[in-house]
Amino acid sequence: MKAFHCDHCHNLAFFENTRCTRCHRLLAYLPDLKAMASMDQGDNDTWSSPWPQAKGRAYRLCQNYNSMGICNWAVPVEDPNPLCESCRLTEVIPNLGRPGAIERWQRLEAPKRRVMYGLTQLSLAVKSKTQDPDNGLAFQFCSDEDTPDDKPALTGHDAGVITVNIAEADDTERERRRVQLHEPYRTLLGHFRHEIGHYYWDRLVRDSPQIEAFRALFGDERADYAQALKDHYSNANPPADWQQSFVSAYAATHPWEDWAETWAHYLHITDTLETAAACGLSLRPAHDNEPALEQIRLQSADRSVAFDQLIADWFPVAYVLNSLNRGMGLPDAYPFVLSAPAIEKLRFVHDVIASAPVEAPPELHTQARAQLQPQPPAEQQPPAEQPPQLQPEAQSQLLAQQQQLPTSL
């Protein structure tokens, strides 16, 4: 996530903000420019921004911004849809007649918008079911009480439709499920990134020339999926050696879940690195056997970094995130250890995204896509000035050592 600022007073603004905390101007995210902006109201419920890049552009606020306080995005006035690019993807909203439904809807839409932002940063096409009934994307936010035949609302993906049980928006219930399923990490953002991974497997891998390379790394997805899930949930203990090959225990369930978990981790990594870069994070420890980081190569809207550099930057960032959390008595922010096979799966996701077609407006994404193209092998690239730092193997071992310490203080 980039750092944003109010265009009137230059105060720092965050992706979720609706008002500048200094000058109190209305803030809105402008999807066509991929930026938060402070707004001036015009005639006929239109808005404009003094930001130079927005000169000559007019907007309406998303209908869910005005009516429900659910959203903080804007819509170009020439777009006839009253909903923003994110809200229009939601086909089923919670039953607003039930207590707490509006709050849960708000909690679901916020991480969905962050995922939509991340996808545009990666220049990945996002189309609605209205635009593309066969290959488009849609979301349904359902509850157990509103499903037919009293069946539970299952979070999952099916043919471009991502369903999320709104109970996941209740922190207490989500934590109960995390403990029950022996998961080290369970968040709404993680759910969305995981399920969107299933969607992009269908779009980018299933019928592509990369399917055999996928099977060589992840396994044969033609294995019985229903039986694999049954085996996973009936067996409380994952394979004893799952950490040797997978990013998570759930990834060991089936190749599709392995892909979706790996995809989610890739989005965790790229979003967090972009945020750390925007904050100017660097690490300069007193001892040369500690993780060091001079400058994160992954800049805002920049995917020119080779995968090896991206993962090398991630190890020290994960180390410091976990260490800071422990200083606050919180669980690790990234409670995972990446083995060599898991890193190769992340590399595969990186390369799949790099080779994905661009279907978004060229003025927004052409440059970003050019920067994302696969890089030549490291030996063919000119050597870059690097600060002394641990080798990836040593950094991975350090994170593994860190995970052996208590995570609840």
Q: Is the pTM of this model over 0.75?
A: yes
Q: What are phi and psi of 137, to 5 degrees?
A: -115, 140
Q: What is the pLDDT of residue 299?
A: 59
Pick from 334, 330, 336: which is nearest to 406 by CA? 330
Q: Are strands 90-92 and 138-142 parallel, antiparallel or unpaired?
A: parallel
Q: What is the pLDDT of residue 4?
A: 92
One-character DSSP codes across 51-91: SGGGTT--EEE-HHHHHHS---BEEETT---SS-TTGGGEE
Q: 145: left (phi > 0), else alpha (psi -120 to 50), else beta?
A: alpha
Q: pLDDT tens per residue, the chain (409 residues)?
A: 888 999 999 999 999 999 999 999 999 999 999 999 999 999 989 999 999 999 999 999 999 998 889 999 999 999 999 999 999 999 999 999 999 999 999 999 999 999 999 999 888 989 999 999 999 999 999 998 877 777 889 999 999 999 999 999 999 999 999 999 889 999 999 999 999 999 999 999 999 999 999 999 999 999 999 999 988 888 767 788 899 999 999 999 999 999 999 999 999 999 999 999 999 999 998 888 888 888 887 654 445 568 998 999 999 999 999 999 999 999 999 999 999 999 999 999 999 998 888 754 433 333 333 333 333 333 444 444 444 444 555 555 555 555 554 333 3
